[in-house]
Each structure stands twice: as structure tokens, then as C-alpha cells.
Chains A and B, each alone.
Chain A
Amino acid sequence: MTDAVLKIENLQTYYGKSHILHGVSMEVAEGEIVTLLGRNGAGKTTTLRSLSGLTPPREGRIEIFGNDTTRWPAYRIARLGVGYVPEGRRIFPNLTVLENLAVPMTRPGPWTVDKVLELFPNLGTRRDSWGRQLSGGEQEMLAIARALLVNPKLLLLDEPSQGLAPLLVREVFRVVASMREQGISILLVEQNARFGLEVADRVYVLNDGQMIHSGPARELAKDEERVRALAGVGGKEDGVLTAKPKTSAA
């Protein structure tokens, strides 16, 4: 892959004294959707935090769109064209929907407040509601909309389906898949392995802060046993490999 939008090499990331990532390397090519799977506590969120500048790695190298961003502050990485939809959405509860959408520093590009409200009509009808009043699904839409306003070329999504009803999960993944047509490359962290593998081109599996698998998503999607062994996702329900339950409700 020559046209990598994201390239990370040998990341060693710590929270204080605890060593979390032990030499993580991966790549995302332009226009690609890459899914990162792994058990609870495997280091998926930490990987995203490392490359978005929130928890810079102590060692290793991060290259985004050809820039060495390893030591950049988060806001400069975002301004390069990196959208981040954090775990748990982290909507600003004390701000209205429209105010939430006023926070991002908008880079020039196709996404405007009107456009994202077109994409998520539900948000439009709730534009003056407080963030804390939104349902889990609405919060997820708002978190994606907010990240889109940065007009990203690379979008990082941390468990967007977490805690959502199946219908909403489908909606979220429809939107994620449609981002590709907008020329946005995507790095997706998921516990919902079925959806995660369905939309992705390639997949990485992280365990205990180390990559234990990488390959085409299609291959792994056919082999549920293997997925379970690698990513440790729970039992089967209606053919869906389900994730562990998390706190926030749909």
C-alpha cells in the first residue's frame, strides 16, 4: 500500500506507569474501511487515543496523510482532517444539538450543519434539545455529525453501535458505509464483529496491546469460530456475534 492515509509503527503507549500498547503497527489506505477488533481491554480505544493525539505514544511513529504527527497536539491532528467519534459518544450534555455542532473547527469541505442535519433528519427535529436529553441513537448520530463537520478525510469511530437497538445499529453502519463514497477513509473499532466485518475491507485484531491478526475482512467474516477465538466476542444471538453489554442505553 503506497497511498496510506494512516500508518502507525511500533506504538508503545502508557497510562502513567501502566504499559498498554506493546508495539502496535497498522495501516489504513485511502478510501479503505478498516475494522479493529479485540476483547475488552485489548487496547482498541488506547490505539485511537494514541493516534488522535489524546494519549501520545511514548515510542513509535504515527504518520497521517504523510505528516509525522506523533507529537502533535490533538487539535492539530483534527485540523489535518481527522474526525474522531469517541467511545461513549461524549456529547456535550450542557449544549443544545445546534450548539454541539458549533463546537468543531470547520475545515472547508462538503459538510455543513445543514448537510449533516439532512443526513440525520432526527437531529434536525431536535436541534434545540439539550445534549443530555438525547437518546443513545441520537447521541451517536450527533457524535458522527459533529465529527463530519471537521470535514475529515479520515474518520475514527470507537464502537459506534455500542448500546444501540439492532435497527439503529444498521442505520449507523449504513452511514459509515456511505462515507466511503464521500472519499473518507475509516478506522472502525467494533465489538459487534458481524457488522464490523461486513462493512470493512480489512480487519486487524488486537489482544493485550499487540496485533494478533490482520487480513481481509471477508475471510474472517466467514469464520465465526475464528472470530470468537481471536476477538473473544460473546455467544451467538440470531446470527449476530454480540458484544458485552455496556452502560449507556439506546
Chain B
Amino acid sequence: MSRSDDRAPAAHGAPEVRAEIRIRRTDGSRSVFSVDAGEYTTILDALEEIRTVHDRSLLYRHSCHHGSCGTCGVIANGERVLACTTRITSDEPLDLDPLAPFPVIGDLAVDATPLYADFPTDASYLRDSDARPNATDPVAPEEVGRFTRFENCIECGICVSVCPVVRPFKGPAALAAYGREIEKRPDREAELLAEIDAPDGVAGCDRALNCSAACPLGVYPAKHIAVLKRKIDARRADYSP
């Protein structure tokens, strides 16, 4: 029995649109597919349907389907988005392209390797939790010690994709990770600042601020870069006669 069969996707009176999805393929051509989109249908849902029903050879990356893994970044009608949290709301043709400038593995799938090249070594992916569900601050039980959570950055590469800098540059994702690590580990500040006090480090940033505007998780990389720059300048001032 398949409940997916007997439950219409538009069960809640949601307007169902028939979307035309035009996907850039490895050879540069575009494949065109029609997909019925209900109220909750995302770009990733559409890709899943296209791959499993129409074209098993379609390549794209995905894992969590809810904006936590960072694998599904694409360019949709010119905008950099996470395919899994971007809903299809109109029947306008939707052009999908791989997330430039990452190397293309095939179709919409890119190789994320360059994103990680300049991340700080041994940076922790955990941080203290900032949750305040009610006015009262939660008190962690003794077994827990203190509440922790993962970093906001899901390493999707969208900030790197929108950054206009073309010179060698560590890029907004890596520099934001430097910023977070220094906030959490002040003891590593000198070591880490030295690594990014270079032409391809914070000095490479032209302050276009595209990264902060595009980040789907609100990491604000440009803010981290500005803080890091101030820290580097302050250290320089300390050492100058």
C-alpha cells in the first residue's frame, strides 16, 4: 500500500502549479521537465521526482532535505538558494544551474572540496546553545554541564558563490569559521589571526557584503571579516612604535 498514492499533494486546497523546470546538464544543454507542485513542494522535491520518475541519470547533491547539511545549493533563476527549503510557487519557467564557481561533477552536482581548503584546522563545530525558549534561562542538568549546539554555518558554499572577489582569497565561509573559532577559543587568537593576516586573508575582502545578504543561515560572514580585520589592525597598532 502506498499512502503517497492515495493522498493528493494539494490536499489542503493549495493551488497546484505545473512548473517547467529547465536543468543545465553536464554538456551545457538544458533538459526541460514538467512537475506538479503543491503548497509544500520544494525545488529538491521536484528534482527527486524528475530523477526517480523521468531521468535516473540526473545528478545533484542532497542529504537532509531541511537546510541543515548544506549540500543542495543551486542557482535558481539567477539566485543562489538551498534547493530543499525553496518552494516552487509559480508556473514561471525555473532555470536551474550548478553553484558556480565550484567545479561541476555533473549536471547540478558540484565538488565542495575548494570550500574547505582554507578552513582553520581543528576548529570545533560545536558552540554553546543560545536558546532561550522562555524568559527564564534554562539551567542545564548536572549530567549535561552546559547546553551545546552545532554551529550555524552548514558549509553550503552560497556565500562563496556570491562573492565577487576573483583574486586568491580564503573566502567568506572560511573566514567566518576563523571568526567563530577565535570567539570560542581566545587562546588561539594569535595563531589564527596570523594565518589570515595575508593578501588572501581578510585583506582580500572588498566589502561587497553579498555573502551576508545571501547566507541562508544568518551567519553574516562579512561581519566576521570586519571584526577580524579590526583585531588584526589593533594587534599591528600594539606592535608599532
Tell me, yes or no, whether A binds B.
no
Residues on B lying within 8 angstroms of A by beta carbon are none
Residues on A lying within 8 angstroms of B by beta carbon are none
